[in-house]
Structure 1
Amino acid sequence: MRLPPSRATFVIGALTAVAWAGVALTGATEMAAVLAGFIPERLAPGGDAMTSASYGIPIAQAVPVWLTPLSATLVHGGLLHLVFNLLMLGFCGRFVEVVLGARGLVALYLVGAYVAAAAQFAVDPGSLAPMIGASGAISALFGAYALLFGERRGRLADHRFGKALHVLWLAAAWIGFQLLVGFATTQAGAAIAVAAHIGGFIAGLVLAKPLLRWRYRHA
């Protein structure tokens, strides 16, 4: 199947790649993570001062905390991190954009970024570790892709219960996968924002159909 041009997906991917390249070329990846990443502790009273003291970086230079769920999507820890996210964005985004349109895709991406940050804050509100990468926002696209293009099996597929069961199965599978990945990376000494990925995915499941109805509201 030949898909129409996915302009919004391409623009998001290009901006993400350019932002990473600019940071990587200056060698300021760690500083960018602190100044542009989402740090839950910054939302607490005195959180900026604590963050500044912990990293030795003037937090006054940082992106306003309410914008960091978005700016964090432009910062990646390395080339592999970036490439994996761009592959996921390119694969899921172009299919989702065909169904939801460019505006719907951008809206889902932005909301997914904020829901991912909120989920990460909910599980670790005092964390000083920057959450970076577009994985949370892309998880929302993956959730929408799974709901819109996932194959339903069984006799219940044509009933509401069957549809609800399908959604629950997708959510359980994604959550289980993220928990396994999180456990593996923790054992290896790294960290992954599992809650952010789960939150983004659930946002995609919840918003896919409303955004579809919104796109064709005048049809």
Structure 2
Amino acid sequence: MDWSQARATATITIVTLVASLLILAMNLLPEAAVGGGFIPLRFDAAVPPDAGFPVPAILTPLTATLIHGGFAHVALNLLMLVYCGGQAERAVGARGIVLLYVAGAFAAALGQYLMDPVSHVPMIGASGAISAVVGAYALLYGQRRAQAVAGVSADVVHVLWLAAAWIGIQLLVGLAGFGGTTIAIGAHIGGFIAGLALARPLLLWRYRGA
């Protein structure tokens, strides 16, 4: 892959890797998860949103992407980001991939909030934001990666297969118990939907003046 066409993906990957490894190496995971993870209960009107927390609640969907439950957790997430993000960035450009990733992080947080709005368990990891990248990649490259099945278009088949594979990988990580990670299903769904919704608008936005 020509990384000159995927510099934003490379930057996101490096920043996430460095932050996650530092937290793990310094044994700061519990403090980081509570302080920077996304906690749905913090958005309850009865709870002071920022009392005693180092990061404002509204920013935690982003800071949560820099915190991972273990080395396998961060490695699997970033492998998917490198592949799908690099390909998607070639289509939507650097600004497009950054917008996609950020929107995916917030969509993932919203998805998890809707699943359990009173949860006090921190959601950590970049998989929700990466789900948006995976969704966009599936839509942008689906036609040449899959074949129509039983009247279902190649685009839809590719999206479904990639979504199933991505969620399956995350489930295996959770079942293996790497770093005590749990699977935020709502986050994966929210991020993936955001990626599907934004892929073509971002593509059109990049080439609107062409």
Give the TM-score, by structure 2 length: 0.85
Q: How does 1:66-81 map to 2 (within 5 A)?
A: 66-81=58-73
The 1:155–1:119 alpha-carbon spacing in structure 2 relative to 1, beyond 3 Å, is: closer
Aligned partners of 1:171 and 1:201 also within 8 Å: no
Aligned to 2:44: 44
Which stretches in structure 2 are left out of the alignment for 5+ residues? none
Aligned partners of 2:146 and 2:157 also within 8 Å: no
Aligned partners of 1:73 and 1:135 also within 8 Å: yes
Rounded Cα–Cα distance in structure 2 between residues aligned with 1:105 and 1:15 = 15
Deviations 1:64-116 (A, max 9, x none): 00000000000001111010111011111110010000000000000000000
Deviations 1:129-154 (A, max 9, x none): 10000000001110111111113534
Give the TM-score, by structure 1 length: 0.82
Aligned to 2:18: 18
Rounded Cα–Cα distance in structure 2 between residues aligned with 1:69 and 1:138 = 12
Aligned to 1:52: none
Aligned partners of 1:185 and 1:191 also within 8 Å: yes
The 1:168–1:123 alpha-carbon spacing in structure 2 relative to 1, beyond 3 Å, is: farther
Matched, 1:145 2:137: yes
Rounded Cα–Cα distance in structure 1 between residues aligned with 2:58 and 2:103 = 13
Aligned partners of 2:138 and 2:158 also within 8 Å: no
Q: Equivalent of 1:93, from 58, 69, 85? A: 85
Aligned to 2:190: 199
Aligned partners of 2:131 and 2:188 also within 8 Å: yes
Rounded Cα–Cα distance in structure 2 between residues aligned with 1:21 and 1:177 = 23
The 1:98–1:169 alpha-carbon spacing in structure 2 relative to 1, beyond 3 Å, is: closer
Rounded Cα–Cα distance in structure 2 between residues aligned with 1:185 and 1:121 = 19
Aligned partners of 1:69 and 1:113 also within 8 Å: yes
For residue 182 of structure 1, report the CA deviation from its aligned partner.
4.7
Aligned partners of 2:147 and 2:157 also within 8 Å: no
AA in 2 matched with 1:29? L
Please tell me whether Structure 1 or Structure 2 has the larger radius of gyration of its CA atoms.
1
Aligned partners of 2:41 and 2:119 also within 8 Å: yes
Give the superposed CA RMSD: 2.9
The 1:176–1:48 alpha-carbon spacing in structure 2 relative to 1, beyond 3 Å, is: farther
Q: Percent identity?
A: 45
AA in 1 matched with 2:163? W
Aligned partners of 1:167 and 1:205 also within 8 Å: no
AA in 2 matched with 1:105? I
Aligned to 2:2: 3
The 1:181–1:96 alpha-carbon spacing in structure 2 relative to 1, beyond 3 Å, is: closer
Q: Which range is displaced more, 102-111 or 194-203?
A: 194-203
For residue 28 of structure 1, report the CA deviation from its aligned partner.
1.0
Rounded Cα–Cα distance in structure 2 between residues aligned with 1:44 and 1:38 = 13
Which stretches in structure 1 are left out of the alignment for 5+ residues? 50-57
AA in 2 matched with 1:72? A
Aligned partners of 1:182 and 1:193 also within 8 Å: no
